[in-house]
Amino acid sequence: MTSAAFNWKQVEKAELNQTFDLDTALSHLKFNEDGLIPAIAQQFDSGEVVMMAWMNLDSIKETLKNQRVCYWSRSRQAYWRKGESSGQVQHLKEMRVDCDGDTLLLLVDQIGPACHTGRRSCFYAVADEASLRVDSEPMISPEELYGK
């Protein structure tokens, strides 16, 4: 299938197990004005959502090639290979693209905490109509995690 002919509606209407060229599909992802796409990391076996971060085309390709998740750090303006400094690695089990081509779901095997606070998940603050409540303690301190 040629690049010009590809669109996400074709994928939506595809038959079971129909395939599309990866480079063509990746070139049609809907990146924001900074060339980034949101990526949600979910523990592959439990379904727990552990974090959300941003990826660009090169970090997606590196992740698929090495099966170790690589993000784009907006604050550092650099590639961020999860676990590079902390050892809390994310091994990619599967990458999924949503129906519009504008969000990625990464099924990962998260080694240790995913959050820079030392918690398993970045989503530890639970909101209701009256308050925001912290529902988990750090597995390890940020000092232990990053040596700071």
Please name every residue paired with 109 in a beta bridge, in sequence order, or none if there are none: 91
Query: Would you state the pLDDT for residue 102?
Result: 96
Digit-coded pLDDT (tens) for 103-126: 999 999 999 999 988 899 999 999
Closest CA to 51 of 10, 86, 17, 9: 86
Which of the following CATH numbers is that of domain 31-109: 3.10.20.810, 3.90.220.20, 1.10.150.20, 3.40.50.1370?
3.10.20.810
| Domain edges within the chain | 31-109
Digit-coded pLDDT (tens) for 3-53: 457 888 899 899 999 999 999 999 999 999 999 999 999 999 999 999 999
